[in-house]
Amino acid sequence: MKKLAVVAFGGNALLRGDEVGTIEEQEKNTKDSCEKLVGLLKNDYNLIITHGNGPQVGNILLRNEAGYNTYKIAKMPLDICVADSQGGIGFMIERQMRNVLNESEIEKNVITLVTQVLVDRNDEAFENPTKPVGAFYLKEEADLLSTSNGWTFKEDPRKRGWRRVVASPKPMDVFNNVLIKSLSEAGNIVIAAGGGGVPVYRHENNYLEAIEAVIDKDLASALLARQIGADQLFIITDVPKAYINFNKPNQKALDTITVEEAKKYVAEGQFAAGSMGPKINAAINFVENGGSEAIITEAKELEKDNCGTRIVK
């Protein structure tokens, strides 16, 4: 019986911080990341790949604004931009994964699913948008855009300007999770829930409507992993392990810790809200709800035994 794993690629798996985002850069990074999954395939894993979309959807929003300002091309809402990023990133991962499989002489199909994720329209996140998206603006520009579009802006903590912020509601249901599980158990590599999924909500008459929000990719990945009964959740980031007292003289890498230990560290404020915090919370969520183990590590560590920080019951 093959093991079932969800592998959540972070944004750095596709686009590194010092890069401008050319297709050549993104394709090289994508292939490098896909190559690290061969070891899991050879160790009898069925794989589902999820991914972030932060830099890419930000660029799509910039094109949105440029197209409107220059040519009056109608702007598309954030949910369509998220769906666009799912398709584009999924295409890159799928094609490079096929190249890696060919080089490794592994015969598998790879399929990308544009994935919707159900949220609650009354989620408190909609009362306090916090997720930054898109470009930096001067205060005067932000005020004008806020008036004309009804957007909310907040000043960047690093004083780089003002940025639009949107809600980041909790994911409630990953659509087509039964199909995703079936495709994976049949031996296919499935790419799904990209960028946390396209957020939708239900009206009382069951009518589905999209909503402008960004779902946390790691929380959506953990939910999908729970729904399909995955054995393990791999959260890929840019460090080999999670740390306590990060960047301090007494910094300590975490190897295997329990859910209770992880919760204690969270309560102590050991993990930054904008980086490791969501990953730890997603790992806790997965293990508490039936998963056997969540691993937080960087892609190149996947080839090593007992890699990363492992959170267990």
Which domains does the chain possess? 3-119+172-312 (3.40.1160.10), 129-166 (no CATH)
Residue 158 has pLDDT above 90, yes or no: no
What interhelical angle do 276-288 and 217-227 show, nearest 10? 10
pLDDT band at 133 (very low <50, low <70, confident <90, very high): confident
Query: Does the pLDDT at position 17 exceed 80?
Result: no
Q: Looking at residue 136, what is its pLDDT? A: 86
Structure tokens at 100: 């890696």
Positions marked active-site: 11-12, 131, 217, 279
| Section 226-235 average pLDDT | 97
- pLDDT of 116 reads 98
Q: Which two tokens stand for residue 172?
A: 């409630």
Examine the pLDDT at 274 and tell me if it is beyond 90. no
For the chain, the farthest-separated pair of C-alpha atoms sits apart, in whole angstroms, at: 60
> pTM of the entire structure?
0.94
